[in-house]
Structure 1
Amino acid sequence: MTLIEQLKDAMKVAMRAKDKARLGTVRMALAAIKQVEVDEAKTLSDEEIIVVLTKMVKQRRDSIKQYEDAGRPELAEAEAAEVVVLQEFLPQQLSDDEINTVVAEVIAESGASSMRDMGKVMGLLQGKVQGRADMAEVGKIVKAQLG
């Protein structure tokens, strides 16, 4: 079953269960995917859908931080609930040890030796960990290993 089919099935289940929060989040994800498809005039593959969903999760995490800084925990909780729903459709997240291993492998493969090579390393890593790790955290690990 493709990712878009999984999202549509989740929408139907949420409708039947009258789970408004989950239904809203799934509909929002489908709308974001449809918007990208219309903008690019093509049907997205599962990998491209993962990129869209990853971007949505990142946006929500940024919002959570801003809401917490502004003293609005109720809004942060709503965003956190959306993150939980969206992550159900993303691949299994990598552990810190797995991320460290992948980063070390990519650094060795690319021959990177200094911080000047960070862009090249991050570009190679993006394809390997997209949707399975927070790229900001991956960037910190790359800096630590190169620095």
Structure 2
Amino acid sequence: MALKDRIADEMKAALLGGNRFEGETLRNLRAAILNEEVAQNKRDVGLSDQEIEKVIVREVKKRNESAKLYRDNNRPELAEPEENEAAVLAKFLPEQMSEADIRALVESKVTELGVNDPSAMGQVIGAVKQTAGNTADGALIAAIVKETLAK
């Protein structure tokens, strides 16, 4: 089943089952997917599952950043809904790589590319992201690459 169809089915099930929070969160996700389809001029053909995963990653990142800002400003009552929305959306992402797996991938890409100075950070991050896809957090990749190239 296509990811877009799975999201639609789960949204309907949540709304019919009385879980208004999850239903509204998934409705907002569908709107974000539609916006991306229009922006990429793919309204008729739709986005691929991988492109939809990128939209979900972006939406989860937004929620997590908002929650962090709320927590930093001592507003936990506003942070909780953002964190709950991020959890609902994260169900549609592939299993995330562990930090150890990302470190191993970064080490192999650094060796493969033959670089060892921080000026090549973007090149290494790009290579790692291309291999990892949506299974690894971009901020974590960047931090590990920076740490690795600083050695």
Normalising by the smaller structure, the TM-score range is over 0.9
Q: Does 1:24 align with 2:5?
A: no
Tell me the residue number matched to 1:64: 67
1:131 aligns with 2:129: no
Identity percentage over the alignment?
A: 39
Shift of 1:74: 1.1
How is 1:92-103 mapped onto 2 (pairs within 5 angstroms)? Answer: 92-103=95-106
Residue of structure 1 in register with 2:2 after alignment: 2
Which amino acid in structure 1 is aligned with residue 17 of structure 2? A
Matched AA of 1:28: N
Superposed displacement of residue 129, structure 1: 2.4
In 1: Cα distance, 2:71 partner to 2:86 partner: 15
Q: Which amino acid aligns with 1:105?
A: S
Between the two proteins, the alignment pairs up a number of residues equal to 147
Q: Distance in 2 between matches of 1:81 and 1:62?
A: 13
CA distance in 2 between partners of 1:94 and 1:129 (Å): 8
CA deviation after TM superposition for structure 1 residue 131, in Å: 2.2
Q: Please report the RMSD computed on the Cα atoms of aligned residues, expressed in angstroms.
A: 1.0
Counterpart amino acid of residue 113 in structure 1 = N
The CA deviation string for residues 34-86 of structure 1, in whole angstroms up to 9 with x for no partner, is 01101211121111111111011111111011101111101111000011111
Higher relative contact order (CA closer than 8 Å, sequence separation 6+): 1
Q: Which runs of 5+ in 2 are unaligned?
A: none
Report runs of 4+ in structure 1 exceeding 2 Å deviation. Answer: 128-131
Q: TM-score, normalised by structure 2?
A: 0.93
Distance 1:112 1:68 in 2: 39
Which residue number corresponds to residue 39 of structure 2? 39
Partner of 2:118: 115
Output the CA distance in 2 between the equivalents of 1:36 and 1:9: 20
Gaps (5+ residues) in structure 1? none
Report the Cα distance in structure 1 between the residues aligned to 2:18 and 2:51, rounded to whole angstroms: 29
Q: TM-score, normalised by structure 1?
A: 0.96
**Post-superposition offset of 1:6:** 0.9
Question: What letter is aligned with 1:138?
Answer: I
